[in-house]
Amino acid sequence: MLTRFAPSPTGYLHVGNIRTALICWLYTRSKNGKFFLRFDDTDIQRSDIKYIESIIEDLRWVGIDWDMQFKQSERFNLYDDVLLQLIKDGYIYECYETKEELEIKRKLQLKQGLPPTYDREALLLTKEKKSQYMQEGRKPHFRFMLNQDEPIKWNDEIKGKIDMKINSISDPVIKREDGNYTYMLPSVVDDIDFNITHIIRGEDHITNTAIQIQLIKALKAKIPVFAHLPLLHFADSKISKRVGGLDVKFIKESGIEPIALDSYLTKLGTSEQVESYIDMQALINSFGITKFSSASLQFNIDEVYKSNSKVLQKMPFEVVAERLSKEGIHSSEFWSFIRNNIGKFSDVIEWWHICQSDLECITTNLDCIPTNKELIQIASYTFPQDNFDQNTLQKWVNAIKQKTDIKTKELFRQLRLILTGKESGPELAKLLVFIGKENIITRLNKAVNAV
């Protein structure tokens, strides 16, 4: 089995691209097949090396690897040879209409209630007329002649049996007048040349698939297995517009773990609940292409955040030890405690600094301090001086409540503010242990002096 992911390096990847790449890759790896990365860079003017580099970086970030990588721009000689053969065999013909002339034809057809398909007028051109056009400076574009009487059928692995009539589809342009190839021919030639057995892509390619099947037949090659995924819609249209359909850069900067995104995308469109995996092999083992529905679906970034939190909760210390070490955190006990109270990895670093560093807001931001000066003073002189452990908080609370009638919930809130500068966070009893006795006393003294 051999699949490919074929992005055009004319822009950055968005979450829809990543989903297609991920499903292609998982399918291949679940079958012990090979996965190719092909850059469809036949659009010379718009393709850019910076996009190629970005695509590679993003694919590696989500955990995708590949067995071969190549660019279509390196294979133009092969496409030219195939084009000449198809012209010789009568499958491709040259046309000389300008864009303006084609647009006039299209408008007339629409006005007459006809489908705006190409009328094949170029097939009637004489050699003399073609020569005249050439002398006028016109350059030909080339079209593939569809067999419009032949319905195209295939068994789609996601959408089931597809039976398409193509009599309302124009003969597709294969090569433009500027000499650049369109998507059609190079894609088919590469799929044949590299023996691609399975093609997985978005449902917006269904018409392309019908055309390509006829191209494959014209080249007397084996037709691969197709699977067409429903396109992603965004639950929050404002987000999708703001970041261009949620590009990968936005997701990275949101603090989302790549495996959390993978976990969500792998189950999106199936009947299975999103399960938060922590390694790619588990995703491979759970994968099945027939689990995907053909129904439309929504991408919800909030669900990815939920998956992210669950992924972090499952991660053992060994998996994150190197990342923590770079931040000066070497405590497996702290990770085991804090991972159940975070939404993203950067939260770990923030809470470590809250525990271990001098809390700046205690001295510089009086808004961090409760306005109840009496409570702060009581909290300071009632802080237990004996054994310091997870039971210290309850002893402390009991001692404070003997001196004041403050409600327990409000007492906890204000103690947390004094010690962390935050109104919510991890379990305070355990958090005190990581802050440390001396640090707690220092913060209490600063709080007293601040008010």
C-beta of residue 11 within 8 angstroms of C-beta of residue 40 = no
Three-state secondary structure of 260-277: HHHHHHHHCCECCCCCCC
How far, in Å, CA of 207 to CA of 210, rounded? 5
The structure tokens listed for 8 are 């055009």
Say which DSSP state 295 is in: S
Give the C-alpha separation, 341 to 395, whole Å. Answer: 24
Buried b (16+ CB within 10 A) or exposed e, 184-218: bbbbbbbbbeeebbbbbbebebbeebbbbbbbbeb
User: Which stretch of DSSP H or E encloses residue 201?
Assistant: strand 198-202
Tokens of 364: 């510089």
What length is written for the chain?
Answer: 451
Please name every residue paired with 69 in a beta bridge, in sequence order, or none if there are none.
Answer: 37
**Tokens at 359, concatenated:** 């809390």
User: 139 among the known binding-site residues?
Assistant: no
Residue with token string 């008010």: 451
Name residue, tokens 């590299």. 194
d(CA 226, CA 178): 31
Cα–Cα distance for residue pair 202/313, rounded to 1 Å: 33
* Phi, psi (rounded to 5 degrees) for 231: -75, 155
Binding residues: 241
Binding residues for ATP: 241
